[in-house]
Structure 1
C-alpha cells in the first residue's frame, strides 16, 4: 500500500543523494539563494517513488524540490496535497515555488493544481550558473534555459 510519510533526520542522506542524482548537486538555487537538503522539511511517497521538500519563512511556505519517479499516477498530486494541508495547518498565507522556463510539464501540473504565475525573473538562471555551474544552457525540449518563473497559491 502506498503511503506518504514525513522526512526524518535519519532520512537526510537519502534526499541528498536524490538531489545529486536529479539536480546535479546537494543543493538547489532559487532567487539567487542556495538551499541545502538539510535545511528543508518534506514528505516521501512510498519509499522514494516521490519526494517533496519545503521551507517556511515569514508566514509563507516555499516548495524547494518536487520529484516523482513515476509520472501520471497521482504521486505528485498526493505529495502536493500533503504540503498544501501542512501549510494550511500552520496558517501560512501563501504557498509558492520557483521553476525554470523550460519545465513545461511542471508548469502544466502546477497551474492545473491551482498555482498562478506571479513573477518572471528574466535571465535569473544565467546568474544561478555562477553558484551552480552544472546547470545546462539548453533545457528540456531543446528550450534555452534562462528564466525563473514563480508560481503561487494563496491559502
Structure 2
C-alpha cells in the first residue's frame, strides 16, 4: 500500500480537484461551482478531504454530507494510477470515522451499477445494497445501486415489561 496523507479539502484545492473530477468522471463531472458549494457547507454539514502522495500531489478526494443522524457519501475519487493502492479505503475510512464523530446512525451512498471495484470496496466495509435508482447517472442513463451501512442501532425506547 502506498502512503497517502489525508487532510481537509480547501478552496485552494478546487482547481486540482475539479481537473481530477473531469478526468475521472468525464460523462457527469461536478462543476467547480458545485464543489465550491459543498465546501461552503464545511464543516457545518459537510466533510471533504483530499489524499496527497509523498510529493504533496492530490491523488484522491472524498466528501460526506451528515445531518440529522444520517450521513451520505457524496463522492470518492482516486486517480486511475493509484487505484488498488489503498487510497480509496483510506478515504472511505475517514468518511466513516467522521460519520461516527457526527453521531450518524447510518451512511448511505450511490454507486454506478457498472463500477464493480467500487461496489466491492463498499461491501468490504460493510455496506449492503438497499435499492436501485434507475437511470440515475446522466447522460448515460446508468443505474445507481443504493447502499447503506448501519453505524449503530438505537437503544430500546419506551416501556419494556421484561425489565420490570
Partner of 1:142: none
Count of residues in Structure 1 that have an aligned counterpart in Structure 2: 133
For the residue of structure 1 that corresponds to 2:142, the secondary structure is coil
Quote the offset at 1:11 in angstroms.
1.7
CA contact (8 A) 2:105 2:150 kept: yes
Quote the offset at 1:16 in angstroms.
2.1
* Candidates 36, 40, 50, aligned match of 1:44: 50
Q: Return the index of the structure with the highest Cα Rg.
A: 2
Give the unaligned 5+ runs of structure 1: 29-34, 130-134, 137-144
CA contact (8 A) 2:4 2:87 kept: no
Quote the offset at 1:37 in angstroms.
1.2
* Distance of 1:5 and 1:39 partners within structure 2: 19
* Candidates 88, 91, 116, aligned match of 2:128: 116
CA contact (8 A) 2:66 2:102 kept: no
* Distance of 2:4 and 2:124 partners within structure 1: 23
* Candidates 4, 7, 12, aligned match of 1:5: 7
Where does 1:3-152 land on structure 2 (aligned, <5 Å)?
A: 3-24=5-26, 26-27=29-30, 36-40=34-38, 41-46=47-52, 47-69=57-79, 70-125=82-137, 129=138, 135-136=139-140, 146-152=142-148
- Is 1:154 aligned to 2:150, yes or no? yes
* Distance of 1:52 and 1:61 partners within structure 2: 13
**Runs ≥4 residues deviating over 4 A:** none
For the residue of structure 2 that corresponds to 1:91, the secondary structure is coil
Partner of 2:161: none
Partner of 2:41: none
Quote the offset at 1:5 in angstroms.
0.6
Partner of 2:162: none
CA contact (8 A) 2:67 2:104 kept: no
